[in-house]
């Protein structure tokens, strides 16, 4: 059974992110792979979420990344599904498709093992109106722990990006 997405820490991040988005009249769309919807479930848990959440999509397979969001097949072939190039393209495409102010994406290896990179290797990206950022992270733990840590990290990355606009 999956871990509840609204740990006290994530619930606090979500509350702060919602407030930051509301303060600048912005919204966000999410593209998730390894987290399987955990980020969107967390962001839509509080009432009033529809004010700041444009939507989201779980794009687990390479085919869905291309079919649903239009990620270039060449990106997936040359860089792989777990890469900075794929993740930033996911963030930009979900932002554009949803007509949102911000797009955010996460992809990684949550487990079991993968021959190219260790379990816990994750890429996170945020695409905004003026800037985009992508980063590589590594999270320790079992499948659920990696997914929860990646979800929290992406929400934190969004909060930091939107917070920069607010301040």
- CATH number of domain containing 104: 3.90.950.20
**pLDDT higher than threshold 70 for residue 164:** no
85 sits in which H/E element:
helix 84-98
Q: What are phi and psi of 13, to 5 degrees?
A: -60, -45
Q: What is the pLDDT of residue 114?
A: 65
Q: What is the pLDDT of residue 131?
A: 86
The residue segments making up the domain with residue 59 are: 27-166
Q: What is the pLDDT of residue 115?
A: 67
User: Residue 104 falls within a domain, yes or no?
Assistant: yes
Number of domains observed in the structure of the chain: 1
User: Residue 33 falls within a domain, yes or no?
Assistant: yes
- How many angstroms separate the CA atoms of 109 and 126, rounded? 19
Residue for token pair 């979420």: 49
pLDDT confidence band for 163 (50 / 70 / 90): confident
pLDDT confidence band for 60 (50 / 70 / 90): very high
- pLDDT tens digits for range 14-44: 999 999 999 999 999 999 999 999 999 999 9
Measured in whole angstroms, the distance separating CA 94 from the mean position of its chain's CA atoms is 10
- How many angstroms separate the CA atoms of 36 and 144, rounded? 11
Residue for token pair 């097949």: 73
User: Residue 64 falls within a domain, yes or no?
Assistant: yes
- How many angstroms separate the CA atoms of 75 and 92, rounded? 14
Contact 13, 159 (CB under 8 A): yes
User: Residue 19 falls within a domain, yes or no?
Assistant: no
User: Residue 55 falls within a domain, yes or no?
Assistant: yes
User: Residue 14 falls within a domain, yes or no?
Assistant: no
**pLDDT higher than threshold 50 for residue 67:** yes
Largest CA distance in the chain: 44
User: Residue 43 falls within a domain, yes or no?
Assistant: yes
Contact 57, 94 (CB under 8 A): yes
- How many angstroms separate the CA atoms of 26 and 60, rounded? 27
User: Residue 22 falls within a domain, yes or no?
Assistant: no
């Amino acid at each position: 059974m999956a871990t509840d997405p609204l740990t006290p820490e994530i619930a606090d991040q979500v509350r702060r992110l919602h407030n930051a988005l509301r303060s600048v009249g912005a919204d966000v769309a999410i593209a998730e792979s390894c987290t399987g919807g955990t980020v969107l479930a967390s962001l839509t848990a509080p009432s009033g979420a529809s004010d700041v959440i444009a939507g989201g999509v779980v794009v687990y397979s390479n085919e869905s990344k291309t079919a649903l969001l239009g990620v270039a097949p060449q990106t997936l072939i040359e860089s792989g599904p777990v890469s900075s190039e794929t993740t930033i393209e996911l963030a930009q495409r979900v932002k554009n498709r949803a007509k949102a102010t911000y797009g955010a994406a996460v992809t990684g290896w949550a487990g079991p093992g993968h021959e190219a990179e260790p379990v816990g290797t994750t890429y996170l990206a945020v695409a905004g109106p003026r800037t985009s950022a992508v980063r590589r992270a590594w999270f320790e733990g079992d499948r659920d722990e990696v997914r929860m840590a990646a979800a929290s990290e992406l929400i934190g990355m969004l909060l930091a990006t939107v917070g920069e606009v607010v301040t």
